[in-house]
Chains A and B, each alone.
Chain A
Amino acid sequence: QVTLRESGPALVKPTQTLTLTCTFSGFSLSTTAMCVSWVRQPPGKALEWLGRIDWDGGKYYNTSLKTRLTISKDTSTNQVVLTMTNMDPVDTATYYCARKYGLRGFDYWGLGTLVTVSS
């Protein structure tokens, strides 16, 4: 059974760095063609893809956010970590991690975690 779960702070202050962890089970990020992505959704707005890390360690980021984002993985603990620097109130959103395997799109998602940026 595949599951993903996001964890991290619910509240961060402007200019701080956000660190979110995606803990998953039921698959291995060492499997060929596997990847884990981060997606966010501001309240009442559309989904926004942030970035991904692939089974072979390849990392790809949203062009407009890439200077602020870092995604890493720990295959031994089945975790993917997102860090986003210089947080701003406009970054207030629900942050999701999601799995993509092979040809399919994101077939499994976490429940999401709401992050509010406020002083």
Chain B
Amino acid sequence: DIQMTQSPSTLSASVGDRVTITCRASQSFDNWLAWYQQKPGKAPKLLIYRASSLANGVPSRFSGSGSGTEFTLTISTLQPDDFATYYCQQYYSHFPWTFGQGTKVEIK
């Protein structure tokens, strides 16, 4: 199976900061990588798919990049609504799908 490792596990930041979260895969796959935002007590929300495509209705301050085994989610200017936990997920059809362990973005 493809293992996904996110870093950092927790990130302290302030409103207006640029934030970057990294997701590393145990083996390469064809950019079938999604990012989700989850708030307490809520279902995850799709932010990015195919590593860099913005999901419908997601603000443009969110962006995704990367290929091979290393991917990043960037929030260009952190807003109060962005404090949440973020997960990466690979959904390469030839393998069981897996999530990263999550990155909690908290207020500094």
Where the two chains meet, the residues of A that have a C-beta atom closer than 8 Å to any C-beta of B are: 37, 39, 46-49, 52, 60-63, 96, 98, 100, 103-107, 109-112
Contact = CB atoms under 8 A, between A and B. Distances in A.
A47 B49 contact: no
18 contacts: A46-B87, A46-B100, A46-B101, A47-B99, A48-B99, A49-B98, A63-B96, A96-B43, A104-B34, A104-B46, A104-B50, A105-B34, A105-B49, A106-B34, A106-B44, A106-B46, A109-B45, A111-B43
A112 B101 contact: no
A62 B96 contact: yes
Nearest to A112: B43
Q: Which 5 A-B pairs have the closest CB atoms?
A: A105-B34, A109-B43, A47-B99, A49-B97, A105-B49
Interface of B: 1, 34, 36, 38, 43-46, 49-50, 53, 55-56, 87, 89, 91, 96-102
A37 B91 CA distance: 11
Contacts of B91: 100, 105
A101 B78 CA distance: 29
A22 to B, nearest CB: 13
B94 to A, nearest CB: 10
A37 B43 contact: no
B1 A63 contact: yes
A105 B46 contact: yes
A98 B101 CA distance: 19
Which among B38, B89, B96 has the highest number of chain A CB atoms within 10 Å?
Answer: B96
Contacts of A112: 43
Contacts of A49: 89, 96-99
B51 to A, nearest CB: 10
Nearest to A37: B97
B22 to A, nearest CB: 16
Given A109-B43, A109-B44, A104 B96 contact: no
Among B46, B50, B56, B87, residue most surrounded by chain A Cβ atoms (within 10 Å): B46
